[in-house]
Each structure stands twice: as structure tokens, then as C-alpha cells.
Chains A and B, each alone.
Chain A
Amino acid sequence: SQQGEEDPQALSIQEGENATMNCSYKTSINNLQWYRQNSGRGLVHLILIRSNEREKHSGRLRVTLDTSKKSSSLLITASRAADTASYFCATAGYSTLTFGKGTMLLVSP
């Protein structure tokens, strides 16, 4: 079974706007990772946040982790059409990653 659950399932915004995606999970984790998947570049790792971290930044990406609520959020600022893709959170247990079903993001010019 898949542990991570992303919300919303789909998100449509205009270029320049911010996009926020949420991920909830059920069991304790070692770390949580976000991946992006589009037809052009396949599945690509975006950012990893460890269980003892609360916030992490990478370029236009900001990830937060609240282990007490078992949830994470991914914020993409100043979105671009090229950000159109599916975004997956993946929870890391002892040895493997478990992916959620993803959020489909559409950024319109």
C-alpha cells in the first residue's frame, strides 16, 4: 500500500502564482522526498527533508515537515509553464521509499 497521500489531486494556476501541495503519511519516517514527473524528463528528485528538519529551501522550492501531524508541504513560488508536471511525495522508512499518488499541477501562461 502507498503511505503518502497528496492533496490536492490536481491544481491549475497561472504563471507567476504560487503552488502549494500537501502530503500526509501514516507511520514514522526517516525522511521525506519530493519528486517531479513529466513526459519530457521522467521522474526527477527535487528535495529531501530529514525527520529532524522542519523546513528546507531549494531555489523556488520550499518544503516543510511536521512530524507531529505526519504531514509535509511543497511550495513552488513564481510558477512557470515548465513547472507543469505531477509531483509525488515519497516517504522513506528503514530501507525503501513509498510514493503517494501525486498531485497534477498545470501552470497556464
Chain B
Amino acid sequence: EAGVAQSPRYKIIEKRQSVAFWCNPISGHATLYWYQQILGQGPKLLIQFQNNGVVDDSQLPKDRFSAERLKGVDSTLKIQPAKLEDSAVYLCASSPIAGPSYEQYFGPGTRLTVT
């Protein structure tokens, strides 16, 4: 089966610019996650969707980050405006069933550099 797809793989922008990342989860997976991974650290959950509804966005900096999952399939994560500290790898993951009792399948990530 095809894995989680993400694009772009790399993005370099200047601070205060906007950027968007796209994720296509594994077919049939109802739950989708966006994580931020800063160099040298583990992934940090930004937002979790169940179908097209938000389950948890408590760690999403809502003044600059936004995410949507239209029709319960693809998802986009946007940063506007970007700050230097947003430089990180943004990982998308999906799971067939909601809840932390099931493994998550991760995409390759988008490496964002903010200059």
C-alpha cells in the first residue's frame, strides 16, 4: 500500500513570508496528525484530525499556524508569517483508528528553513 505522501520535501523562505505544506494520508486512514520536529528533538504534535474534525490543537500556535483537512482526506498546514524558530521538519502521520493505542504511519516530512 502507498505510504503517507508529503510535499514539498524542502522549502526555504525568509522570515515573515508564508508557506504551506500538503499531506495525503494512507487511503482509508481516518486520523491525521501534523508534528513539528526541531533538530535534536523528538516530534511535537501540532494538530490531530479525526476525519475532517479537529481532535486536539492545543499545541498549535494559532496566531500564525493553521491547518485544515477538507473532505477528511488531504490536509494542508500553513504558517503565516514565518519566524526563524519555525525552522524544523514538519511530519504528517496517519492512523486507521483514532486514539494513541495504534501505531502511526509517518510521511517523509518537509524540511523548512526560515532565513
**Residues on A close to B: CB < 8 A?**
2, 4, 30-31, 33, 42-45, 48, 50, 88, 90, 92-102
Contact B45 A43 (CB under 8 A): no
In the complex, B56 has a CB within 8 A of chain A: yes
Q: Are A43 and B100 in contact (CB under 8 A)?
A: no
Q: Is the CB–CB distance between B106 and A97 below 8 Å?
A: no
The answer to whether A30 touches B44, judged by C-beta atoms less than 8 angstroms apart, is no
| Residues from 24 to 49 in B contacting A, C-beta threshold 8 Å | 40-45, 48
B42 touches A2 (CB 8 A): yes
Among residues of B, the one whose C-beta sits closest to the C-beta of A46 is: B103
Report B-chain residues with C-beta under 8 Å of the C-beta of A4: 42
- Summarize A's interface: helix, strand, loop or mixed: strand
Contacts known (A30-B101, A43-B91, A92-B100); A2 close to B41, Cβ less than 8 A: yes
Interface string of B90-115 (1 = CB under 8 A from A): 01010000111101111111000000
Shortest distance between the CB of B39 and any CB in chain A (Å): 11
User: With contacts defined as CB atoms under 8 Å apart, how many contacts are there between chain A and chain B in the complex?
Assistant: 56
> Are B103 and A101 in contact, CB atoms less than 8 angstroms apart?
no
Whole-angstrom CA separation of A4 from B44 in the bound complex = 12
Residues of A within 8 A of B105 (CB): 45
Q: Which residues of B contact A30 (CB under 8 A)?
A: 100-101
**In the complex the two chains form, what is the Cα distance from A95 to B102 in whole Å?**
11
Does B55 have its Cβ within 8 Å of any Cβ on chain A? yes
Question: How many angstroms between the C-alpha atoms of A102 and B104 in the bound complex?
Answer: 17
Would you call B100 and A96 a contact (CB within 8 A)? yes
Is the CB–CB distance between B100 and A93 below 8 Å? yes
Asked if residues B42 and A99 are in contact (CB atoms below 8 Å), the reply is yes
Q: How far is the CA of A90 from the CA of B104 in the complex (A)?
A: 11
> Closest CB of chain A to B100's CB: distance in Å?
3
